[in-house]
C-alpha cells in the first residue's frame, strides 16, 4: 500500500525537523505505541505498538532504521516488524519545505506491505484504517509542534 500527503505545520523547518527525527517525540503521536528504544541515535530504533484491525488485534515489534537523513530537508526510514502470524515491511520519506509564512510544509509518503494473518484477515479494512491512523497521527504531530 502506498500513501502520500502533505501537512503544513505552523513552525519553522528546524523545529519540525527536530521533532520528526526524535522518535520519543514522534512516539507520543504513534497510535498504540507501547515502548520505544533507541538502538543507535539518529540511526536505529525499536518500537512495540498494538494495532487493531477489526476483530484482530496484534502487537507488532518493529525495527526502524533511518536510511537517509539530510537535515533539515529530507529523511527516509525503513522498517520491518513482526507479530504472531503477521509481518509488516515499509519505508517512509519526508521532505520539508519552508513556506513563505514561516510555516513548514512536509511532503510525506509511505509504502507499507503487510503479510500473514493481518493481510489475509484484515485486507478489506486496511485502506480505510490506515487513512484514519495517518490522519490522527499528523494532526497530533501538528498539534504537538505547534504547541
Question: Count of H helices and E strands in the chain?
Answer: 3, 7
CB of residue 113 to other proteins, shortest distance in Å:
6
Q: Is 115 near other proteins (CB under 8 A)?
A: yes
Q: Is 48 near other proteins (CB under 8 A)?
A: no
Contacting residue, 4, 14, 67, 113, with other proteins by CB under 8 A: 113
The Cα-based distances of 44 to 21, 69, 93, 107, 133 in angstroms read 11, 12, 15, 22, 23
78 contacts 65 by C-beta, under 8 angstroms:
yes
CB of residue 137 to other proteins, shortest distance in Å:
24
Q: Is 57 near other proteins (CB under 8 A)?
A: no
The stretch among 4-12, 64-72, 109-117, 137-145 that binds other proteins (CB under 8 A) is 109-117
Q: Is 35 near other proteins (CB under 8 A)?
A: no
Residues 6+ apart with CB under 8 A from 72: 13, 14, 16, 17, 18, 96
Contacting residue, 28, 97, 124, 132, with other proteins by CB under 8 A: 124
Amino acid at each position: 500500500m502506498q500513501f502520500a500527503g502533505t501537512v503544513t505545520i505552523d513552525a519553522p523547518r528546524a523545529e519540525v525537523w527536530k521533532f520528526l527525527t526524535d522518535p520519543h517525540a514522534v512516539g507520543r503521536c504513534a497510535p498504540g505505541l507501547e515502548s520505544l528504544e533507541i538502538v543507535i541515535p539518529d540511526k536505529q530504533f525499536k518500537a512495540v505498538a498494538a494495532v487493531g484491525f477489526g476483530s484482530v488485534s496484534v502487537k507488532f515489534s518493529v525495527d526502524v532504521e533511518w536510511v537517509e537523513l539530510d537535515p533539515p530537508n529530507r529523511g527516509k526510514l525503513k522498517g520491518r516488524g513482526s507479530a504472531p502470524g503477521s509481518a509488516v515491511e515499509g519505508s517512509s520519506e519526508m521532505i520539508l519545505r519552508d513556506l513563505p509564512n514561516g510555516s513548514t510544509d512536509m511532503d510525506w509518503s509511505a509504502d507499507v506491505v503487510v503479510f500473514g494473518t493481518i493481510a489475509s484477515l484484515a485486507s478489506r479494512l486496511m485502506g480505510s484504517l490506515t487513512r484514519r491512523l495517518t490522519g490522527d497521527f499528523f494532526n497530533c504531530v501538528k498539534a504537538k509542534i505547534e504547541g
